[in-house]
């Protein structure tokens, strides 16, 4: 035991424990500040940009228009500046707390705020503006996310696109390795800039000097810390759901006590990602400052701020020692916790049922991962799986026939390097749509007419129009004409990433349900005319956005969702449709979130899926194949 105590004393971990508590409390306060001030100002700036340009929503198309508008660019630059300044408050506050406490300097609230204000002024100096880009981009990209902007995740559709070509994979890996090296190879730039008060370029060089010869070891340390935080987060989540399941099964009847308990437990589970984020940021900077001091001492390097003249230590500062501050933060946290618990409580009916909206399951590109995409066999697989819709992509051939193809060039799927619109139907029919699969048997590329005939009254169709600008009108007209010919207007949803195509379809047949596909979305997208369904990339979907859509009588479909955790989240949000390459899994997960799930069953299922993770389901002969076990953690 004495050996452990001596080791902890040698590493000054007892001392760092006090640092951790101070920074953790500051992070809680900062999170509240971001909630009430930081993000409202971000929304205000974005909305103002929309007002000035007449663009109240953000899509790929409006982004291109904004890029040509000087006023919009100026406002967006101001937005970037605000993000940098607000994150500066966090980093500066943490650095101030750590080093004042570590060296025993006097620190009161006035000095604390002065230090933060000084750094806010420094970072907007022209020579330090690159630091804003650093903390707004690299910081969250590397998972060392700020409590303000969180982690930046690469959209799933981008990753899927990268995975389709080896050259994309190589470029992505090279870029990723470069960014990891750039960030962790200069990880100490935060200490050099915010603590030693060095300008950006000097801080950059100083960081490189400190980490020289220590890069791999340092990277391993940070990786370990991130892994521990992730493990604790999911471990705590599993324990909470275990507690929920075991407690619920004790109750014989549903009553107010059980409902309140479930509400509180679910709120705690929802708060875990926020708490793990705060702890992760705290540990990130604790480790950073510890290693900076250690490496500098080993190399005999002089740390500038250690030489500053200060009063003798007295009344060592601790945020926990400010009663008013502590009470204010605690009250706000309790109120937020109570609000979310009460919201969950209201989401139950008098019989204790948890309310969830049943969403449509849309099988992506025909049958998802099963079989050759955009072919009749894969669509039949979607029917067997029990999907509500099958999503297909359509293009025009050279002789103006509508065929199924996701890519403009069919080389990836058929092996032939040719554009669809440069091939006649007879040439297309010679292609093997399953050529990209291992041992893929010859499967013809189907026409839309063949698909309509094969699917009528069996499964609904999500028909995505893929066309170049000069093909939009012709393809839209052909699709509407074929749907009318087969009298399946109520069985089809016509979507496109091209807004003009969507509006063309609606103008040709107002009864047809239309959807607008948005890889990027922000702002008042529900003001866009002639759109019934908004198909959004999963990164941009939130519970509040779904609620707004439903208030405007619009539907939200989310794509492409392929893991059980994300599926559960979107079912809880109440989305109207989930587009997935794994429709069987989406259907299984939906069974937990039917419009009314009794609390007992809900808890048992949550326990089974989150902890045991081993589900087997039997599919009936009239609908679905007999299934093998599914590993939820897969």
pLDDT exceeds cutoff 80 at 333: no
Q: State phi, psi for 556 to the nearest 5 degrees.
A: -120, 120
Looking at mean pLDDT, say which of 306-315, 348-357, 398-407 comes out highest: 398-407
Is 112 a domain residue? yes
Please tell me whether residues 321 and 394 are part of one structural domain: no
The predicted structure's pLDDT at residue 271: 72
pLDDT of residue 632: 31
The SS3 of residue 419 is strand
| 46 pLDDT above the threshold of 60 | yes
Residue 314 domain flag = yes
Distance between CA 223 and CA 280 in Å, rounded?
A: 11
Rounded mean pLDDT, 127-149: 75
Considering the domain architecture, whether residues 459 and 421 belong to the same structural domain is answered as yes
Best CA proximity match to 559, nearest among 479, 505, 495, 623: 495
pLDDT in tens, 336-382: 656 655 555 555 554 445 555 679 999 999 988 888 999 999 999 99
DSSP per-residue letters across 310-370: -PPP-S---GGG-HHHHHHHHHHHHHHHHHHHHHHHHTB-TT-EEE-PPPEEEETTTTTTS
Rounded (10°) angle between helices 70-102 and 256-298:
80
Could you tell me if residue 630 is inside a domain?
Answer: no
Note down the domain range covering 106: 2-346
Q: Based on the domain organization, do 22 and 139 belong to the same domain?
A: yes
pLDDT over 50 (residue 616): no
The pLDDT value recorded for residue 530 is 93
* Measured distance CA(275)–CA(268) in Å, rounded: 10
Q: Return the pLDDT at 308.
A: 47
**Taking residues 578-588, what's their average pLDDT?**
92
Give the Cβ contact number of residue 82 at 10 Å: 17
pLDDT digits (tens, 9 = 90+) for 486-504: 999 999 999 999 999 999 9
Residue where one domain finishes, among candidates 297, 314, 346: 346
Mean pLDDT of 51-72: 68
Contact status, residue 520 vs residue 497, Cβ threshold 8 Å: no
Asked if residue 617 has pLDDT above 50, the reply is no
Which among 290, 315, 346 is the end of a domain? Answer: 346
Task: Say whether both 393 and 337 belong to one domain.
Answer: no
Distance CA 238, CA 245 (A): 10
Instruction: Domain count for the chain, please give it.
Output: 2
Inside any domain, residue 451: yes
Sign of the four-CA dihedral 207, 213, 215, 218: negative
> Do the strands 596-598 and 353-355 form a parallel or antiparallel pair, or are they unpaired?
antiparallel
Give the residue-averaged pLDDT of 309-331. Answer: 52
CB within 8 Å of 226: residues ≥ 6 apart: 143, 144, 280, 284
Cα 408 to the center of its chain, rounded Å: 28
Last residue of a domain, one of 296, 323, 346: 346
Lowest mean pLDDT segment, chosen from 7-11, 18-22, 246-250, 387-391: 7-11
pLDDT band at residue 103 under the 50/70/90 scheme: confident
- 309 has a pLDDT exceeding 60: no
Residue 452 lies in a domain: yes
Angle between helices 70-102 and 13-33 (to 10 degrees): 150
pLDDT-based confidence at 110, cuts 50/70/90? confident
Residues 414 and 499 in one domain: yes
Query: Residue 432 has what pLDDT?
Result: 96
Of 119, 97, 147, the residue nearest 322 (C-alpha): 97
Element (H, E) at 442: none
Instruction: Report if residue 611 sits inside a domain.
Output: no
- Residue 594 tokens read as 């039917």
Q: Do 325 and 367 fall within a single domain?
A: no
Indicate the pTM of the whole model.
Answer: 0.69
Whether 314 and 385 map to the same domain: the answer is: no
Mean pLDDT across 66-81: 79
**Both tokens of residue 523?**
């702002």
**pLDDT class of 422 with cuts at 50, 70, 90:** very high
Across 395-405, average pLDDT? 96
Would the pLDDT of 121 be above 90? yes
- The string of pLDDT tens digits covering residues 153-171 is 666 667 777 777 788 889 8
Of 31-35, 92-96, 181-185, least confident by mean pLDDT is 31-35
- Residues 6 or more apart whose CB falls under 8 angstroms from that of 144 comprise 183, 222, 226, 280, 281, 284
Distance between CA atoms of 389 and 578, rounded to whole angstroms?
Answer: 10
Q: What are the angstrom distances between the C-alpha of 279 and each of 60, 75, 149, 500? A: 35, 33, 15, 47
Answer yes or no: do 314 and 443 share one domain: no
Residue 293: C-alpha distances to residues 10, 11, 191 (Å): 14, 11, 10
Whether the pLDDT of residue 246 is over 70: the answer is: no
Q: Which H/E stretch holds residue 580?
A: strand 577-580
Question: Which is more confident, 112 or 362?
Answer: 362
Cα–Cα dist 460/533, whole Å: 15
Q: What is the reported pLDDT for 144? A: 55
pLDDT tops 60 at residue 150 = no
Q: Can you list the alpha helix ranges (DSSP code H) found in 518-575?
A: 543-551, 564-573
> Tell me, what's the pLDDT at 56?
60
Per-residue model confidence (pLDDT) at position 76: 78
Q: Which residue has the higher pLDDT, 533 or 565?
A: 533
- Per-residue DSSP letter, 429: T
The answer to whether residues 546 and 421 belong to one domain is yes
Local structure of 49: helix, strand or coil: helix
Tell me the C-alpha distance between 374 and 364, whole Å.
9
Residues 6+ apart with CB under 8 A from 34: 86, 147, 148
Are 53 and 183 in a shared domain?
yes
What is the rounded average pLDDT of the residues 84-102? 85
> Please, what is the average pLDDT of the chain?
78
Residue 247 lies in a domain: yes
CATH number assigned to the domain comprising residue 491: 3.20.20.190
DSSP state of 447: B
Please state, for a pLDDT cut of 90, what percent of the chain lies above it: 36
Q: Per the structure block, which two tokens stand in for 85?
A: 């300044």
> Is position 620 within any domain?
no
Q: Are residues 314 and 446 in the same domain?
A: no
Q: Looking at per-residue confidence, does 102 or 61 come out higher? A: 102
pLDDT over 90 at 72, yes or no: no
Alpha carbon distance, N-terminus to C-terminus of the chain: 41
Looking at the fold, whether 333 and 374 belong to one and the same domain comes out as no
CB 395 within 8 A of CB 408: yes
The helix (H) or strand (E) run that includes residue 193 is: none
Identify the residue with better confidence: 27 or 456: 456
Average pLDDT score over residue span 79-90:
87
Give bridge partners of residue 556 from the DSSP assignment: 534
């Amino acid at each position: 035991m004495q050996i452990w105590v001596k080791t902890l004393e040698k590493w000054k971990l007892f001392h760092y424990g006090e640092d951790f508590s101070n920074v953790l409390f500051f992070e809680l306060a900062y999170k509240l500040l971001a909630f009430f001030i930081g993000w409202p100002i971000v929304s205000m700036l974005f909305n103002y940009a929309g007002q000035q340009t007449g663009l109240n929503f953000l899509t790929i198309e409006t982004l291109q228009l904004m890029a040509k508008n000087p006023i919009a660019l100026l406002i967006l630059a101001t937005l970037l500046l605000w993000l940098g300044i607000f994150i500066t408050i966090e980093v500066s506050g943490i650095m101030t707390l750590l080093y004042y406490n570590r060296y025993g300097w006097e620190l009161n609230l006035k000095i604390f705020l002065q230090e933060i204000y000084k750094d806010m002024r420094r970072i907007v100096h022209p020579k330090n503006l690159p630091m804003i880009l650093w903390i707004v981009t690299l910081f969250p990209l590397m998972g060392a996310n700020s409590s303000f902007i969180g982690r930046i995740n690469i959209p799933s559709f981008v990753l899927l696109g990268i995975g389709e070509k080896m050259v994309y994979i190589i470029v992505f890996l090279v870029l990723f390795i470069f960014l990891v090296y750039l960030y962790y190879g200069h990880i100490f730039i935060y200490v050099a800039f915010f603590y030693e008060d060095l300008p950006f370029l000097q801080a950059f060089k100083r960081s490189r000097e400190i980490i020289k010869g220590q890069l791999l070891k340092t990277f391993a340390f940070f990786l370990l810390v991130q892994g521990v935080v992730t493990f604790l987060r999911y471990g705590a989540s599993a324990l909470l759901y275990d507690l929920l399941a075991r407690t619920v099964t004790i109750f014989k009847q549903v009553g107010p006590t059980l409902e309140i308990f479930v509400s509180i437990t679910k709120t705690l589970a929802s708060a875990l990602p926020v708490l793990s984020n705060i702890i992760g940021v705290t540990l990130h900077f604790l480790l950073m400052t510890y290693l900076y001091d250690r490496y500098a001492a080993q190399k005999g390097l002089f740390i500038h701020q250690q030489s500053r003249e200060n009063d003798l230590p007295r009344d060592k500062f601790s945020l926990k020692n400010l009663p008013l501050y502590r009470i204010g933060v605690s009250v706000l946290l309790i109120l937020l916790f109570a609000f979310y618990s009460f919201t969950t409580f209201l989401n139950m009916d008098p019989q204790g049922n948890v309310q969830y909206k049943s969403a449509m399951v849309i099988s992506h590109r025909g049958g998802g991962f099963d079989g050759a995409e955009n072919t009749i066999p894969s669509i039949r697989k979607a029917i067997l799986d029990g999907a509500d819709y099958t999503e297909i992509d359509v293009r025009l051939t050279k002789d103006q026939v509508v065929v199924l193809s996701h890519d403009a060039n069919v080389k990836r799927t058929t092996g032939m390097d040719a554009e669809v619109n440069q091939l006649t139907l007879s040439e297309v029919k010679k292609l093997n749509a399953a050529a990209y699969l291992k041992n893929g048997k010859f499967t013809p590329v189907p026409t839309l007419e063949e698909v309509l005939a094969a699917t009528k009254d069996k499964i609904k169709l999500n028909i995505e129009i893929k066309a170049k600008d000069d093909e939009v009108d012709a393809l839209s007209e052909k699709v509407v004409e074929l749907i009318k010919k087969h009298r399946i207007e109520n069985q089809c949803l016509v979507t496109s990433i091209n807004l003009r195509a969507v509006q063309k379809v609606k103008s040709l047949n107002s009864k047809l349900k239309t959807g607008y596909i948005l890889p990027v979305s922000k702002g008042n997208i529900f003001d866009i005319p002639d759109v019934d369904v908004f198909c959004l990339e999963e990164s941009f979907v939130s519970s509040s956005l779904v609620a707004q859509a439903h208030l405007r009588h619009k539907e939200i479909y989310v794509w492409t969702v392929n893991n059980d955790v994300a599926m559960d989240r979107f079912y809880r949000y109440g989305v109207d449709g989930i587009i997935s390459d794994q429709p069987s899994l989406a259907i299984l997960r939906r069974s937990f979130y039917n419009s009314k799930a009794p609390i007992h069953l809900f808890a048992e299922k949550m326990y089974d899926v989150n902890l045991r993770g081993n589900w087997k389901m039997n599919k009936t002969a009239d609908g679905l194949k007999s299934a093998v076990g599914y590993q939820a953690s897969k």
